[in-house]
Amino acid sequence: MKRSLGSHLFLAAAFLAVALPAVPSFADGIQAFSFTSAVFRDDDPGTAELGYTFTVGNNPIVVDSLGYINDVYQGTHTIAIFDVATQQMVPGALATVTTPYGSAIDTYFTYTALSTPVTLAANTEYQIVSQFFAGEYYFTDAEGFTSAPGVTFGIASYGNYGDPPSIPVFATGSYAGNDPGDFGPNFTFTPVPEPSSICLVVSGICGLAATGLRRLKR
């Protein structure tokens, strides 16, 4: 039975849908770092910037949202991602997150979607930093800590004690005592498909289209 060109194009589209991972929506983004339990603390009397460094793996990632650990009190935090080598903010990697009241134990993080997703380069070290205000809660000494495939946790970072700026700047302080430990910010991301996967998909589509054209000419 001969198939029409339309049916071959349909098969090509189906092949594409199966071979290429779907680009997830904000709700489907992968959370970079997770844990099963931690110490819940509010004993830091100062205001500061709190965060950590991380390294992207062999393939780029697309960051689609920035988040902050939920507090038992409603709070607003500005979060940013920096390139460690240049200590400059990654363009577009800035968001303000308002955590809801009384949900810290339930869901851990609240996220704000970036207006335009930001691509982070492969094999590059970055730092995510957020504001932390006196009397707020944070998690430390995380248990059951996991990193999502494609990113690796680095070291906890801090800076600007007593006077955190309204927009975060690169945090120059670091400490390894609680790593992976003190949690304020987090992010979600989408992996970028490997070039070999894209080539495989394109080759498959071209092959299906060529087969359809040859059969139409018979």
Average of per-residue pLDDT across 207-214: 51
Confidence of residue 137 (pLDDT cuts 50, 70, 90): low
Least confident of 42-46, 58-62, 105-109, 210-214: 210-214
- CA dist., res. 124 & res. 85, Å (int): 9
Check residues 101 and 200 and name the one with the higher pLDDT: 101
Task: Say what angle helices 5-19 and 195-217 make with each other, to 10 degrees.
Answer: 170
What are the CA-CA distances from residue 218 to residues 7, 198, 211, 214 (Å)? 16, 31, 11, 7
Q: Is the pLDDT of residue 28 over 50?
A: yes
Q: What is the pLDDT of residue 206?
A: 44
Q: Is 197's pLDDT higher than 80?
A: no
62: pLDDT strictly greater than 70: yes
In the prediction, which pLDDT does 179 show? 63
Tokens of 174: 């670091």
CA end-to-end distance (rounded Å), the chain: 12
More confident site: 203 or 149: 149
The number of residues in the chain equals 218
Q: How high is the mean pLDDT of the chain?
A: 75
Q: Which residue has the higher pLDDT, 72 or 88?
A: 88
Partners of 19 in the β-ladder: none
Is 11 or 144 the better-scoring residue by pLDDT? 144
Among the ranges given (102-111, 119-128, 131-140), the one the predictor scored with the smallest mean pLDDT? 102-111
**158-179 pLDDT per residue, tens:** 887 776 677 889 999 887 765 6
Q: Give the pLDDT confidence score for residue 99 in this predicted structure.
A: 83
Mean pLDDT of 68-73: 73
Task: Give the SS3 label for residue 70.
Answer: coil
Among 12-16, 167-171, 173-177, 203-207, the range scoring the smallest mean pLDDT is 12-16
Q: What mean pLDDT is predicted for residues 146-156? A: 93
CATH topology of domain 25-192: Jelly Rolls (2.60.120)
Share of the chain above pLDDT 70, in %: 61
